[in-house]
Amino acid sequence: MTLKFSTTADAPETAATPCLVVGLYDDRTLDGAAARVDGKSGGAIQRLIDGGDATGKPGGTTLLFGPAGIAAARVLVVGLGDRRKFDAAAFHRAANDAGRALKGLPIESAVSFLTELEVPGRDLDWKLRTAALAADAQAYRYTATFKPKDAPKTPQLAAIAFAAADPTARDDGDRALTEAAAIASGVRFAKELGNLPPNICNPGYLAAQARRLADEHAGVTVEVLEREDMAKLGMGSLLGVAQGSANPPKLIVLQWNGGGDARPYAFVGKGITFDTGGISIKPGAGMEEMKFDMCGAAGVLGAFLSAVELKLPINLVCIVPAVENMPDGNSYRPSDVLTSMSGLTIEVLNTDAEGRLILCDALTYAQKFDPQVIVDAATLTGACVVALGKHASGLMTKDDELAEQLLAAGTATHDRAWRLPLWDDYQSQLDSGFADVANIGGKYAGAITAGCFLARFVNGRRWAHLDVAGTAWDEGRKGLATGRPVPLLVQYLIDRCA
Ligand code: BES
Ligand code: MN
Ligand code: ZN
């Protein structure tokens, strides 16, 4: 369950809440909500500062329990860093720090005054959405595969109210929070699918989740194509990847009809539920992270759920090729030539470049819906992680307007992308002596040549590719799925409805 969000016009000293959240810059000068709380409580925050407990440094939070003179039971003082450098990124960080601290407290609700802080170039809506999404992101816990615990004895955070004192802004604020709540539930859906192990979250499981989503939401239809259906359509590329796995492939098609007879938006997500590399097998170290190779699928499914919860006045089709890439006696092999649904033949030079092989048939299938725009999301290349690291998704498109719209949506939700060129100059790296195209493009520009491969299957349509290999999960032993690029995709759709 996502947190419940609301706005409040209460003053900080009168808000009756288990915990009040206020900010402190590193110059340690009290102002805004912190100054008012300090005044009413006889200098309680100033004493924290004087004692060295609260420094205002970013990343630091300090808890004040039971201050006199105010209605709140606790005050959480969040370090904001340098006042003059307090920008969107700093606000985002403070909101996440606050969320993390709140998660550890035995409380069910809180009231945050962070939304009253000045952020250059950002309005109240942005602050509400950012603070709400950060709080929900921090409140998420993965529990699915632990031994069930008794119901927690301590209360858990379930609701948070944000200061929005300006009455003219409050209607807007409610809309911003409605959008944030929908994005948060899409993010949670995507995180949960990403985090589940591949022995549970296999292609059949993804299909079952899509069916459940359709059952639970009016206006959603679902269709799942089986191996035989895909064979009839000639999806030889997708089926080539699938042939080494005991888990049969699924092609999931979800449709939301909220836009009458308008042409749909189409989202396509890479759903490799586990990527061993196949016969071109990956090294053992770190292979477990390849359970996250369906995070593109999780991202488009999450974004779809958000769009449905918001009942956006658009048509949206969400296509997920769900396949497991395994080595086996029946596996496809390097040098195999596959015939894709488009008719183009593909020489497989590396069975670990499988994502593009399932996406190309999904992209061809997507065109059946005559979409006005196609966006795919995929954990497609390690090369994208080398190029952009863990902070930006790689965006590739030939359409400058679409690029601007997607980049803007990413900036607005702090789910940022960065554009890489998709020039035809790179296409010759995919030349093959035995088929129309090879599935790998050599050692240079691996993220771009993967994008160039996909470009061959979209027939000049308005299309963008998001490589989320670096952004969809946090690496390491306890790294969890991030839910990206759900915020970017949903914001993109919301902006199209404005
Ligand atoms: N799923 C991987 C990409 C990946 C690797 C994502 C590491 C995140 C972290 C993809 O299927 C893959 O294996 N790509 C190969 C392509 C290569 C064989 C051309 C890669 O990036 O090494
Ligand atoms: Mn691979
Ligand atoms: Zn992969």
Regarding the beta carbon of 441 and ligand 1, being less than 6 Å apart is answered: no
**For the chain, how long is the longest CA-to-CA vector?**
81
Q: Which amino acid is at 490?
A: V
Is the Cβ–Cβ distance between 311 and 385 less than 8 Å?
no
Number of Cβ within a 10 Å radius of residue 205: 19
> CA 450, CA 3: separation in Å to the nearest integer?
38
Residue nearest to atom 5 of ligand 1 (CA): 382
Structurally, what CATH architecture does the domain formed by 188-496 represent? 3-Layer(aba) Sandwich (3.40)
Regarding the beta carbon of 279 and ligand 1, being less than 6 Å apart is answered: no
What residue ranges do the domains of the chain occupy?
Answer: 4-166, 188-496
Residue 390 CA, ligand 1 centroid: distance in Å: 15
> CA 367, CA 346: separation in Å to the nearest integer?
20
Q: Residues 4, 282, 461, 462: which is the catalytic one?
A: 282
Regarding the beta carbon of 179 and ligand 1, being less than 6 Å apart is answered: no
What is the dihedral sign for C-alpha 67, 71, 76, 77? negative
Residue 344 CA, ligand 3 centroid: distance in Å: 21
Q: Which two tokens stand for residue 108?
A: 């069910």
356 annotated active-site: yes
Q: Ion ligand 2 — residues with CB under 5 Å?
A: 275, 352, 354
Q: Which amino acid is at 50?
A: D
What does the pLDDT read at residue 167? 57
CA Rg value for the chain: 24
Regarding the beta carbon of 278 and ligand 1, being less than 6 Å apart is answered: no
Substitution site in 352, 354, 440, 466 for ligand 1 pocket (most atoms within 8 Å of beta carbon): 352
Helix (H, G, I), strand (E, B) or coil at 252: strand
Residue nearest to atom 17 of ligand 1 (CA): 353
Chunked into runs of 10 residues, the chain (498 residues) has average pLDDT values of 95 97 98 97 98 96 97 98 97 98 97 98 96 98 93 90 75 86 98 98 99 98 99 99 98 98 98 99 98 99 98 98 99 99 99 99 99 99 98 98 98 98 98 98 98 98 99 95 98 97
Alpha-helical runs (H) found in 367-485: 382-388, 400-412, 446-455
Regarding the beta carbon of 467 and ligand 1, being less than 6 Å apart is answered: no
Buried b (16+ CB within 10 A) or exposed e, 221-247: ebebbebeebeebebbbbbbbbbbbeb
Ligand nearest to the CA of 468: 1
> CA 220, CA 43: separation in Å to the nearest integer?
56
Residue 276 CA, ligand 3 centroid: distance in Å: 8
Regarding the beta carbon of 388 and ligand 1, being less than 6 Å apart is answered: no
Q: Are strands 463-467 and 393-397 parallel, antiparallel or unpaired?
A: antiparallel
Regarding the beta carbon of 385 and ligand 1, being less than 6 Å apart is answered: yes
Q: Residues 191, 356, 416, 484: which is the catalytic one?
A: 356
| Bridge partners of residue 438, in order along the sequence | 347
Helix (H, G, I), strand (E, B) or coil at 481: strand
What does the pLDDT read at residue 152? 74
Closest CA to 463 of 347, 330, 373, 377: 373
Is the Cβ–Cβ distance between 319 and 253 less than 8 Å?
yes
Is the Cβ–Cβ distance between 117 and 32 less than 8 Å?
yes
What does the pLDDT read at residue 224? 99
What does the pLDDT read at residue 150? 82
Substitution site in 381, 426, 468 for ligand 1 pocket (most atoms within 8 Å of beta carbon): 381
Ligand nearest to the CA of 430: 1
Residue 383 CA, ligand 1 centroid: distance in Å: 7
Regarding the beta carbon of 450 and ligand 1, being less than 6 Å apart is answered: no
Give Cβ neighbours of residue 301 (< 8 Å, ≥ 6 apart).
Answer: 189, 190, 193, 206, 209, 210, 213, 254, 269, 318, 320
Regarding the beta carbon of 236 and ligand 1, being less than 6 Å apart is answered: no
> CA 22, CA 46: separation in Å to the nearest integer?
13
Residue 353 CA, ligand 2 centroid: distance in Å: 5
> CA 12, CA 22: separation in Å to the nearest integer?
9
CATH code, residues 4-166: 3.40.220.10
